[in-house]
Chains A and B, each alone.
Chain A
Amino acid sequence: MTSLLEAEDITKDFHIEGGLFRRRRGTVRALDRVTLALNAGDSVGLVGESGSGKTTLAKILTGLLSPDGGRVLWEGRPAADYSRAQWAGHVQMIFQDPSSSLNPKLTVRTLLTEALDVKHRRTEGRGGSTGTLRDEAGVLLSSVGLSPEFLRSYPHQLSGGQKQRVAIARALAAEPRVLVADEPVSALDLSIQAQILNLLLDLKDRYSLTLLVISHDLAVVGYLADRLIVMKEGRPVEEGPAGTVLDSPRHDYTRTLLAAVPGFIR
């Protein structure tokens, strides 16, 4: 069976520049020959600490960064075969801080209708009518648990949890098959985190999404994902079904991460 989304032997280097003329001072290998496959309906968790390369990998899968080596495949075909608009209908991403991922000058309605319009152009060859877009924006908002009155709001008028819901709605506007969630709750208040985690599971079921969840928090990925990949310094060090990795971790680094989880939520 062909996987839905694959990363094959991905390498990514970042150059460190500095000094008067921004000369190249060195290179950091963010990803070192990483291979990963997502099958339709999967829920995969990517765990690691800062510098592990997990966000870089997510951005490459989403098409926000291009790899220096290796390739990304969609249903067996290389990413280069698809347009940007087509890729937007494959993979969408939500980020840790919804305050910085939503344009502060746009209302929620504009944020959503822009994304919906792109989807109409992709699927039907022309943009949606104002009425259609408005109706669809309302439906999207209610699917993430917000009432249509928020369409008139600007991001700064929303709480952190509400902003993250809008960011999720905007990602869903493209009708993606894969949703990448990069630290989806770590910037949110404690009593809001569970709401967003449950919402992601609800949406996964309702829209048959394939989920890639990225977090430094084993509890968050353990809750959302069926399969875990533990990354360290640009390489996966352990991979397997969530239960197996958590019950009998083989790599020392996984054990270190597990030891940092407080006893009463093990």
Chain B
Amino acid sequence: MTRDSLVRIEHLDIDYRQHGVWVPVVRDVSFELREREMVSLVGESGCGKTTLALSILRLLPERESAVRGGRILFDGSDVLRMDPDGLRSLRGGRISMIFQDPFSSLNPVLTVGEQVEEVLECHEGRRDPARVKSLLERVVLPDPSRIYSSFPHQLSGGQRQRVMIAMAIASSPKLLIADEPTTALDVTVQKEILDLLTRLQDELGMSVLLITHNLGLVAERSHRLAVMYSGRLVESGETAAVLASPRHPYTQGLIQSLPRIRRTGSRLPMLPGQPPELSRIPSGCAFHPRCAKVFAPCSREIPPLKKMGSSPDSDEAVACHLFGGPAS
């Protein structure tokens, strides 16, 4: 199934200033998000996944970060060259974002209704309580009238995240970025929120970019999966294919080291070491000191992301010297 491209990131490089020194956070990332698809960006803390997502909205801290190269195209226009008016229509308009902790994203002294209404007023220029209630219904909040006049602290974590989602879809965005949307929630609630996001993505015809460190519950939902390590994209492909037969030794290690609910052997296979600090990224492939399959070129050359599979529109790609083929 081929869909039109909504976000196209080309060879993006981003640095952060850390204790006065510039360090690489995102390196040579090329990535495509198509219309009406849900993509997971998976990685550990510090791998650059949130930075990459924030850069689509140009929400990176201006003095502490610098885009060194590359392009970000949203719906055909270059986000990095956009004027303030263009950015305003992007942020909270054509692109919405929700975060891990809904409590800190909501105003504690305003009722839920007032906050959702404020968002609607920004987009449509008028206050409309009836539409607020229909939005609250849409995200399956029971008794919308009661929720409307509740304060955030009176709601559960799952209900707050539903309120955030209601605010996020108020502008009928083309893209919803969800940064660890369920990490703070109980497992059964996580599942409900993911069910809701999946349904809304389909009903509203939007694209969803899920940023997560959760390779199981969360990533499983998406159509495609992209894995980042130390600022680079190391593997991408259809979710089911990547989870079933990962190619990159890092992805393989992550999947194998997930505890199965039934203990099969005596010990879990595990990746040695830990992700590198940004100021001390190893030469060549950043993963090579932890890799069991390391060989000569790994410490010298950075492996490019190469397309895998025979068909030209294959989605699978991997950045590892174990795999040949033309660079994508």
Q: Within the assembled complex, what's the spacing in Å between the Cα atoms of A216 and B266? A: 22
Count class of interface residues, chain A:
35 or more
Contact A265 B260 (CB under 8 A): yes
Interface residues of B in 207-253 (CB under 8 A from A): 213, 215-217, 220, 243-244, 250, 253
Main SS class of interface, B:
loop
Interface residues of B in 44-95 (CB under 8 A from A): 44-45
Which one of B131-139, B173-181, B185-193, B296-304 is at the interface? B185-193
Contact B215 A190 (CB under 8 A): yes
* Shortest distance from the beta carbon of A54 to any chain B beta carbon, whole Å: 12
Q: Mark A47-81, 1 if CB is under 8 A from B, else 0.
A: 00110000000000000000000000000000000
Q: Which of B250, B257, B260 contacts A222 (CB 8 A)?
A: B260
Q: Which of B186, B190, B260 contacts A219 (CB 8 A)?
A: B260
Contact B213 A189 (CB under 8 A): yes
Contact B274 A49 (CB under 8 A): no
Q: Mark B250-276, 1 if CB is under 8 A from A, else 0.
A: 100110011111110011111110110
* Shortest distance from the beta carbon of A99 to any chain B beta carbon, whole Å: 13
Contact B44 A49 (CB under 8 A): no
Q: Within the assembled complex, what's the spacing in Å between the Cα atoms of A216 and B191? A: 13
Flag whether A194 is at the interface (Cβ < 8 A): yes
Contact A191 B253 (CB under 8 A): yes
* Shortest distance from the beta carbon of B230 to any chain A beta carbon, whole Å: 12
Q: Which of B220, B262, B263 contacts A264 (CB 8 A)?
A: B220
* Shortest distance from the beta carbon of B198 to any chain A beta carbon, whole Å: 14
Chain B residues near A34 (CB-CB < 8 A): none
* Shortest distance from the beta carbon of A194 to any chain B beta carbon, whole Å: 4
Chain B residues near A220 (CB-CB < 8 A): 259
Q: Within the assembled complex, what's the spacing in Å between the Cα atoms of A193 and B290? A: 15
Chain A residues near B263 (CB-CB < 8 A): 222-223, 242
Flag whether A195 is at the interface (Cβ < 8 A): yes
Q: Which of A190, A193, A195, A261 contacts B261 (CB 8 A)?
A: A261
Q: Within the assembled complex, what's the spacing in Å between the Cα atoms of A193 and B257? A: 8
Contact A194 B269 (CB under 8 A): yes
Q: Which of B45, B190, B260, B267 contacts A266 (CB 8 A)?
A: B260
Q: Which of B191, B253, B258, B267 contacts A265 (CB 8 A)?
A: B258
Chain B: interface residue total (CB-CB under 8 A): 35
With both beta carbons as reference points, the residue of chain A lying nearest to B47 in the complex is identified as A189
A223/B188 contact (C-beta < 8 A), A191-B44, A263-B220 known? no
A262/B217 contact (C-beta < 8 A), A49-B187, A49-B188, A219-B260 known? yes
With both beta carbons as reference points, the residue of chain B lying nearest to A216 in the complex is identified as B187
Chain B residues near A139 (CB-CB < 8 A): none
Q: Which of B213, B259, B261, B271 contacts A197 (CB 8 A)?
A: B259
A260/B271 contact (C-beta < 8 A), A193-B257, A222-B260, A222-B261 known? no
* Shortest distance from the beta carbon of B60 to any chain A beta carbon, whole Å: 23
With both beta carbons as reference points, the residue of chain B lying nearest to A186 in the complex is identified as B183
With both beta carbons as reference points, the residue of chain B lying nearest to A47 in the complex is identified as B187
A198/B187 contact (C-beta < 8 A), A219-B260, A263-B220, A265-B259 known? no
A191/B259 contact (C-beta < 8 A), A257-B188, A261-B216, A264-B243 known? no
A198/B270 contact (C-beta < 8 A), A190-B213, A191-B253, A259-B191 known? yes
Contact B271 A191 (CB under 8 A): yes
Chain B residues near A219 (CB-CB < 8 A): 216, 258-261
Flag whether A192 is at the interface (Cβ < 8 A): yes
With both beta carbons as reference points, the residue of chain B lying nearest to A225 in the complex is identified as B263
With both beta carbons as reference points, the residue of chain A lying nearest to B255 in the complex is identified as A264
Q: List, sorted by A's number, 5 A–B pairs whose CB atoms are closer than 8 Å.
A: A190-B257, A190-B258, A195-B270, A218-B187, A264-B220
A191-B257, A219-B260 known, 17 other contacts, Cβ within 8 Å: A49-B186, A189-B45, A190-B257, A191-B254, A192-B274, A202-B267, A216-B186, A219-B216, A222-B262, A223-B261, A223-B263, A243-B262, A256-B188, A261-B217, A262-B217, A263-B220, A264-B244
Sorted nearest first, the 6 A-B pairs with minimum C-beta distance are: A194-B257, A222-B261, A223-B259, A194-B270, A49-B186, A262-B216
**B-contacting residues of A (Cβ < 8 Å)?**
49-50, 159, 161-162, 189-195, 197-198, 201-202, 216-220, 222-223, 242-243, 246, 256-266
**A-contacting residues of B (Cβ < 8 Å)?**
44-45, 186-191, 213, 215-217, 220, 243-244, 250, 253-254, 257-263, 266-272, 274-275, 290
